[in-house]
Amino acid sequence: MSLILHELVGDQGRCFSPFCWRSAMALAHKGLEWESRRTSFAGIAAIGGGQRMVPVLDHDGTLVGDSWAIAEHLEARFPERPSLFGGPAGRAYAVFMQNWTATQLHAPIFRMIAADLYERIDPVDRDYFRQSREQRLGRPLAEVQAERDAMLPAFRAGLEPMRMTLKSQPFLGGAQPTYSDYLPFGALQWARIMSPYRLLADDDPLHAWFGRCLELHGSFARNVPAYW
């Protein structure tokens, strides 16, 4: 069996995409061995199969694009291994967490580290990244990022539902992590790898949860180039 995960890489070999981290954690959760094959934005088309985004999982020649599709593929193809969702109710919870992560984590995190991302992606991607992201934001990356100190308190306050959940259990999935943990983890890992700007205070319970996630699966997520 061959499993190849195509994922974005920046400077110093930094695999940084939050979506790719979801898939890497899902593979590790299942106890599977895989090869990481790294690409720039410019190189995604060379993966084949009409792929336009990563992650892309190549499973014995079958290409599966999109992190959610990859999670469902792994759950269906390896039912004997630890479940990513823990059943239909857990899958439904993960759907909610995916949408919550997109709005409450990805959107503000991007604004707070936009210029840092530009500085640390592959140089071949920088023109594309700046043009596409500044068009989305309507302003220069550095101008948006300059507001991050003012944004940070509201960002941290918006994570209170996670803190409340983690008061009574070590992971969002309960006693053990599930895919619902890997969704927000991927967002914070993105920031940890690409920016020195610390999103979580050291005494924040979420910092402790994030540390527990970094230690999962042989601590492979901790042992990458990162800023915090």
Residues 110 and 163 in one domain: yes
Residues 174 and 130 in one domain: yes
* Residues facing 56 on adjacent strands: 6, 65
Q: Is the pLDDT of residue 164 over 90?
A: yes
Query: For the CA atoms of the chain, what is the radius of gyration?
Result: 17
| Secondary structure of residue 121 in the 3-state scheme | strand
Residue type for position 184: P
Last residue of a domain, one of 15, 46, 77: 77
Q: Strand 56-59 to strand 3-8: parallel, antiparallel, or no bridges (unpaired)?
A: antiparallel
In the block, residue with structure tokens 């985004």: 53
The CATH number for 170's domain is 1.20.1050.10
pLDDT in tens, 166-191: 999 999 999 999 999 999 999 999 99
In the block, residue with structure tokens 């580290």: 113
Look up the pTM and report it: 0.96
What domain range includes position 52?
3-77
Q: Is the pLDDT of residue 12 over 90?
A: no
